[in-house]
Amino acid sequence: MRSSVMRSSVQHIHKALLLGACSTFFLAHSAFAATADLEKKAFNYASSLVKGQKPGGKVSVFAVWSGVEQENFLRAIKPFTDATGIQVEYEATRDINAVLTTRVQGGNAPDIAVVPSISLLQEWAEGGKLTDLDGIVGTSVLEKNFGPGFLDLGGYKGKTYGLFINADVKGLVWYNTKTYKGPKNPKNWDELAAWASKTAAAGTTPWCVGVESGAASGWAGTDWVENILLRQSGPRVYDQWYQGKLPWTSNEVKSAFQAFGKVATDPKMVYGGPTTVLTTNFSDAATPMFGNPPKCFLHHQASFIPSFLEKNTPGLQAITGYNFFGFPNINPQYAGTIEINGDMVGLFKKTPQSALLMKYLASTEAQSIWPSLGGKLSPNKRVALSVLPNKMAAGFQKTLNGARSVRFDASDLMPDRINKAFWKAILDYVQNPSRLDAILQELEKTRQEVY
């Protein structure tokens, strides 16, 4: 059992690129900026917390957001400052894992900070470094505003220590609305697979896949395996897997790899065959869907991909030119489970000011502002879909709100050495699927050494 997860610098670089691209997309589509009405409601809520008084003071916040993301976060908390007179001192770094860990160990933690991983949240909660939020925000408020999946991810031993303030949806299937004639809301994976097989038999590859990503090559394939395993074997097995309690040689993990392989290693199923899968950057992988004639019809990726689609195909527009549906269910027992990513904050130093800010950040009023500006979804299930800047973003939020349960990206929760081995295993498997047993044995050996 690992005690902590230290994310690699490559992951940070990768995520920074994705976040920047994501912001670019949503900026281009921010037809609806945060309205004065939303900000007024947030101001009124913050004012109610201090009964119309202005206690003043300061709160330090340490996070990862820069550029547009930083601007959007600061805009979301401006009503709080205006209503309470409490100033927010904001610091940011993309290497928050290392920097925050050093500060926590040195007794110099900020009042509030983005917690880099679930394992660090648990470690810091166990060590008394984080404050239980149930007594500050209120258990009933937390349960009213957030689904059990988000509360579970931010919880430890029955208490809530991490508050999610944004989210991304993973495991979406994208298609060209003008050429794709298959099921747009397949009832299960078998239905989609049957259409894909029929399409392949007719001579056109149904899928486009690309797993190249520089030093992080392979991660796009890990998302495939994670989503399949989650839907084949369920959340409990998924948790055991990332926690290092499930052997990589288990039937569950092998079955997920094999299902991914039926797409990514079959030249009839994927455009260009395995060679193209390995040499195509994830950001370019979907482009052949929009060729004339199209080279494929489906692409699997998270909610950040629209920026790349539109950059690579000028003039392409969301909804009318491309759209998405959620990854189909595989085992009906686990229907409605989705994979997500997001940022959660924890309270390291409880002061009257920091406690007020945490209550504000948990509110529907505060959590409505950032999604309305674009680039992020809200984990707060009471945020209205109407605040989202466009129909596609509203569709992401609807998918998130409708989830029966959520699970965080498993590879991001794994120790760095396992995560990198997972990336490499994807590349090895796509290149030579006949070596699957040997590849899984290598991963299992690493698991036994790491956990």
Q: Which amino acid is at 323?
A: N
| 12, two tokens | 């940070």
Rounded to 10°, the helix 251-264/416-431 angle is: 50
Which segments of 91-147 does DSSP mark as H helices, in order?
A: 96-105, 118-126, 139-145
Per-residue pLDDT band for 303 (boundaries 50, 70, 90) equals: confident
Q: Are 292 and 215 contacting, i.e. CB atoms less than 8 angstroms apart? A: no
Which residue, among 44, 36, 94, 31, has the nearest Cα to 67 in the 3D structure? 94
| pLDDT category of residue 29 using cuts at 50, 70 and 90 | very low
pTM above 0.75, yes or no: yes
| pLDDT tens digits, one per residue of 52-66 | 999 999 999 999 898
pLDDT at 34 over 80: no
* Closest to 208 measured CA to CA, from 111, 143, 305: 305
pLDDT in tens, 186-233: 999 999 999 999 999 999 999 999 999 998 899 999 999 999 999 999
Of 128, 31, 39, give the one whose Cα is nearest residue 78: 39
Rounded average pLDDT over 30-39: 66
Over residues 234-282, the pLDDT tens digits come to 999 999 999 999 999 999 999 999 999 999 999 999 999 999 999 999 9
Express each pLDDT in 145-177 by its tens digit: 998 889 988 999 999 999 999 998 999 999 999
User: Rounded to whole angstroms, how far apart are CA atoms 238 and 315?
Assistant: 40
Q: Pick from 63, 67, 60: which is nearest to 374 by CA?
A: 67
CA distances (Å), origin 437, targets 12, 86, 254, 355: 31, 58, 8, 51
What tokens appear for 48 in the block? 């109610």
Q: What is the mean pLDDT of the chain?
A: 90
pLDDT at 35: 67
Q: CA–CA separation, 124 vs 129, rounded Å? A: 5
